């Protein structure tokens, strides 16, 4: 069945993904099962999406209950789950208002549109350019890929959308030098995810905040990957002595149902008025009910605490590996967004781990990225470390495989 399915999939689907040759059929917590009955401990979580793990009983119940009641109505009307979720997000963040959409790219589109309109509304119609970072990732729509600081994501889709100036990450001076009379905002991920788990230098984000205040620019945080508890706090900006003006969320927001959100302070959010922006599916009762259950569980069941504690333990174990293998350059990250930077290609390692029953991810070709469900336990970390140790031992003697 597996081989036939893969053959069919490769024939009928757009070839946009290079997939591993397994067919996943079921999940339970941090474990996934394939069609052949093999079990995998999941350190990918759908790319930082299933933060409460797979088939979470509370989430499943919330989805089922809401599905029996009301799945979708237009945003021409009010609904209870959407309102309750927005209220929760406003109560638990710096923001005053929320716009719901369906993905990270769309959340960033909303942020870009809002930043432009905010300045138009103030008569500064020449201010539309946004400074973004090298190695950033903001999505695959035309505007968000143009904002993304990676040539491989631009390639083939030129001309890019006008208005993005890309500077090196962690270089405050570069941002200062890139500001012109046309600049309206600075947009970045507080920790770069796809870019290889790159953390901000001490004082960098606070420095950006000061710079934006001084120059009258908006500061936009793309927390699509870092939000919803991933770094041990609800939102990554909470690690720093500052807040952005706009924040985008998606990935884990509804623990696997597609949902995005753009949050902003009142003064900024006020530039979105009736008709400014819209989304047919944005914040349907079904996804909102799932997200509402997700955010409650994050706090009620000590998930953030677990993320912080196990994340620290995990990082320590990765550092143990680093002291053992000289092809490990650096261990980076916060909470359960961790990266192992290698001097060699990581593709083979991902494959070898999969064959041993562990799903891990590799980004930028040489950074192993670990983004498991936030409910993962130390015992599961230990098992992965044993696996990595064996794979590393195996390749130490081989050239760049
Ligand atoms: C995944 C990601 C996106 C894009 O989200 P989609 O839902 O795939 O559109 C944007 N920004 C960051 C930081 C991401 O990690």
Q: Atom 5 of ligand 1 has which residue's CA nearest to it?
A: 104
Q: Are residues 197 and 308 in the same domain?
A: no
Q: How many CB atoms lie within 10 A of CB 298?
A: 21
Cα distance between residue 50 and residue 102, in whole Å: 16
Of 73, 92, 74, which Cα lies nearest the Cα of 84?
A: 92
pLDDT (0 to 100) of residue 100: 98
Cα dihedral: 290, 86, 187, 236 (round 10):
-70
Q: Are residues 127 and 212 in the same domain?
A: yes
User: pLDDT, tens digit, for every residue of 114-146?
Assistant: 999 999 999 999 999 999 999 999 999 999 999
**Number of structural domains in the chain:** 2
Measure 249 CA to ligand 1 centroid, in angstroms.
9
Would you say the CB of residue 222 lies under 6 angstroms from ligand 1? yes
Q: Are residues 222 and 234 in the same domain?
A: yes
Cα distance between residue 308 and residue 208, in whole Å: 26
- Burial class from Cβ neighbours inside 10 Å (0-12, 13-18, 19+) for residue 158 reads exposed
Residues 6 or more apart from 273 whose CB is under 8 A from it? none
- Reply yes or no on whether the pLDDT at 387 is more than 60: yes
If phi > 0 it is left, if psi is from -120 to 50 it is alpha, else beta; for residue 46 that is left
The predicted model gives 143-167 an average pLDDT of: 98
355 is written with which tokens?
């064959």
What residues pair up with 368 in beta bridges, in sequence order?
A: 340, 362
What phi, psi does 328 have (nearest 5°)? -90, 115
Domain with 269, as residue range(s), is 57-300
pLDDT (0 to 100) of residue 398: 75
137 is written with which tokens?
């990732």
Measure 144 CA to ligand 1 centroid, in angstroms.
9
Q: Are residues 129 and 110 in the same domain?
A: yes
Is residue 401 one of the residues assigned to a domain?
no
Q: Atom 15 of ligand 1 has which residue's CA nearest to it?
A: 225
CATH number at residue 255: 3.40.640.10
pLDDT (0 to 100) of residue 400: 59
Q: What is the largest CA-CA distance in the chain?
A: 64
């Amino acid at each position: 069945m597996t081989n036939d399915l893969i053959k069919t999939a490769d024939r009928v689907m757009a070839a946009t993904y290079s997939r591993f040759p397994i067919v996943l059929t079921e999940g339970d917590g941090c474990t996934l099962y394939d069609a052949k009955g093999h079990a995998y401990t999941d350190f990918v979580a759908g790319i930082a999406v299933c933060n409460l793990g797979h088939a979470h009983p509370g989430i499943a119940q919330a989805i089922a209950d809401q599905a029996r009641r009301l799945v979708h109505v237009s945003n021409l009307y009010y609904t209870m789950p959407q309102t309750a979720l927005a209220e929760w997000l406003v109560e638990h963040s710096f923001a005053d208002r929320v716009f719901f959409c369906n993905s990270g790219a769309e959340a960033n589109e909303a942020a870009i549109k809002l930043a432009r309109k905010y300045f138009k509304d103030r008569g500064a119609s020449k201010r539309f350019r946004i400074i973004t970072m090298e190695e950033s990732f903001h999505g695959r729509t035309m505007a968000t890929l143009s904002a993304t600081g990676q040539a491989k994501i631009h390639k083939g889709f030129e001309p890019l959308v006008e208005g993005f100036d890309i500077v090196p990450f962690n270089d405050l001076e570069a941002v200062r030098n890139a500001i012109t009379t046309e600049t309206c905002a600075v947009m970045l991920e507080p920790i770069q995810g796809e870019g290889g788990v790159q953390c901000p230098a001490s004082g960098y984000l606070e420095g950006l905040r000061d710079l934006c205040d001084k120059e009258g620019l908006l500061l936009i945080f793309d927390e699509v990957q870092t939000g919803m508890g991933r770094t041990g706090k609800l939102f990554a900006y909470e690690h720093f002595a500052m807040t952005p003006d706009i924040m985008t969320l998606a990935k884990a927001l509804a623990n696997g149902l597609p949902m995005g959100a753009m949050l902003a302070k009142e003064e900024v959010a006020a530039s979105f008025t009736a008709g400014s922006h819209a989304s047919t599916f944005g914040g349907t009762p079904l996804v909102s009910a799932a997200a509402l259950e997700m955010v409650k569980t994050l706090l009620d069941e000590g998930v953030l605490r677990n993320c912080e504690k196990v994340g620290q333990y995990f990082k320590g174990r990765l550092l143990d590996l680093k002291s053992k293998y000289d092809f490990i350059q650096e261990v980076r990250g916060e909470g359960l967004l961790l990266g192992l930077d290698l001097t060699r290609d990581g593709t083979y390692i991902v494959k070898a781990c999969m064959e041993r029953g562990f799903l891990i991810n590799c980004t930028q070709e040489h950074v192993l990225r670990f983004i498991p469900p936030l409910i993962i336990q130390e015992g599961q970390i230990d098992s992965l470390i044993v696996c990595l140790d064996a794979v590393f031992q195996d390749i130490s003697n081989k050239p760049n495989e």
